[in-house]
Chains A and B, each alone.
Chain A
Amino acid sequence: MTWQQQDASYHQQSRQHWLSVLACAPYEQVISHWNTLGLDPECEVIRQPEIGLARIQGRVGGTGSRFNFADTTVTRAAIRLADGTTGYGYLQGRNKHHALLIAIADGLLQQRDYHDQLQAQLVAPLASLVKQQHEQVAKQMASTKVDFFTVVRGEDE
């Protein structure tokens, strides 16, 4: 039984998390954290990075029936590591290097030998960076909070 089969549900959650973090973090940040790891694993590209579209659907009233609203560009890639582990990369936008890098990191993150190092030095710092950016925007926007006062119009006087 491989390490990744030991706790399928935990593994899935954890993989969901790292794939999302790696896709949502800005490429410059992903590559700079990756470079500090000094890793250069042997791998085969089984799906060259491909740019395409993903349909975005809205819901009428936010909760009702779906409608096709628009599309977004997406890029996907897949690699196979020397030991046969496949890694996938998906992200919004058209950055092929980013997609390939996610795929490689995804492959390594599934391996016991690399998992902890990549979690600690790649996924965790990028996750906190993304979170920080969200918080910063929220904080800036919160400064525009407003309390409106209704002025008495004087009809009742």
Chain B
Amino acid sequence: MYVAVKGGEQAIQAAHQQQAQRRRGDLNIAELSVTQIQGQLSLGVERVMTEGGIYDQELAALAIKQACGDQVEAIFLLRAYRTTLPMLFTCAPLNTQKMRVQRRISAIYKDLPGGQQLGPTFDYSHRLLDFSLLAEGLGKPTATQEADASTGSNTEANTEPSLQQPFSRVFNMLEQQQLAKPEVDCAAEPADISRDAIHFPCSRAARMQQLSRGDEGFLLALAYSTQRGYGRNHPFAGEIRCGEVALEICPEELGFNIEIGSVLLSECEMVNGFVQPKEAPAHFTRGYGLAFGFSERKAMAVALLDRALQAQQYDEAITSPAQDEEFVLAHADNVAAAGFVSHLKLPHYVDFQSELELLRKMHQSQHAPCANTGYPSGNPSGQPSKQTVTKETDNAKV
């Protein structure tokens, strides 16, 4: 338990000023604009939007600037801003079949309708530092612009988008051959964990929402743990696609749907180890992940955990952390996690004082001649101390 303290306003103000100066950095160097962050640190912006739970590039970029690049702090800022806005609409469910695909890969079929398209990616790069990026402002064309210029006429000729086959879903093919069960809409109103706290066991909708907002590092580590043997589910990256999906709302005043914009998404469908139910043919199982922007590592982690958390449904033994719904979902949110860890910085003077006193009494009793009574000699009442329980109550009270 922590206690309220007074005073220190000036020091706090000065500390915030110091933080503002640290944010600005060397005054001889041009200030970073929100537009620059939005345009040039897009993956950072996309992570903040995904975990902050709001698609708004400008706000996410502002949060990153304000937080000096601290992603968890930026996510917190965005979540806090979210609570100030009224909920005006619910968009029509995302139709990812109509995605304007930029990237689409499959690790299970080499040739598939629509083909494989890499889009922008770090894959296949050598992960060597590119020192040419250090030479700022020299007006040199970027590597991509150069590539566009050199291959432009060549690629345009044989890759006219209108001549392309559409990117049909990989899972459709598996479903048609009865190798996978189609995901069917149960038509239930989905839970909203941002309004009603999550309870366990929870619905898949609540789970998907919590995973979508969950910390990428935490989810990635847990997804990795399933690959290392802690709840194996034998995954293949069935399909990963990134691109823009239109957003539609149906305002009451109009009574019909209109498009109001679009979101850039990464979608991952994992094909997982098969099951052999008595009433149906053997089929693969599946996991699904969605994230804003080109955040496919996050989407893959979510898909792996979505499948790991279906363990009970498939009568699998729940032996590992990644399969434990409460363990995964109750610890996935980095705003909650950072909040509770950070609260340790709040004044715990009284708490600590009581422990200190107890420890001192124990020391005294060890050195005092009457130590064999088992009670501290300094205890005027001669009764045993009951102060050791303070720590355990911390968690429950906050």
Contact = CB atoms under 8 A, between A and B. Distances in A.
A137 interface: yes
A60 interface: yes
A62 B169 contact: yes
A145 B86 CA distance: 43
Size range of the interface on B?
35 or more
A93 B212 contact: no
B184 interface: yes
Interface string A10-45: 001001100110011000000000000000000000
Given A53-B54, A55-B90, A57-B90, A62 B267 contact: yes
A139 B159 contact: yes
Contact of B249 (A66, A90, A137, A146): A90
A68 B94 contact: no
A141 interface: yes
B183 A60 contact: yes
A124 interface: no
A71 B54 contact: yes
Given A53-B82, A54-B249, A66 B88 contact: no
A73 B63 CA distance: 15
B208 A58 contact: yes
Interface string B154-173: 01100111101000010100
A57 B94 contact: yes
Given A65-B185, A147-B115, A72 B247 contact: yes
B131 interface: no
Interface in B181-237: 182-188, 190-194, 204-206, 208-209, 212-213
Interface of B: 49-50, 53-56, 58-59, 82, 85-91, 93-94, 96-97, 100-103, 110-111, 115-120, 148, 151, 155-156, 159-162, 164, 169, 171, 182-188, 190-194, 204-206, 208-209, 212-213, 247, 249, 251, 253-254, 256-263, 267, 269, 286, 288, 290, 292, 306
Given A53-B87, A54-B90, A54-B91, 19 more contacts: A15-B254, A16-B256, A23-B258, A51-B85, A52-B88, A58-B94, A62-B169, A65-B185, A65-B186, A65-B190, A66-B93, A67-B190, A68-B193, A73-B55, A74-B89, A88-B251, A88-B254, A92-B55, A147-B115
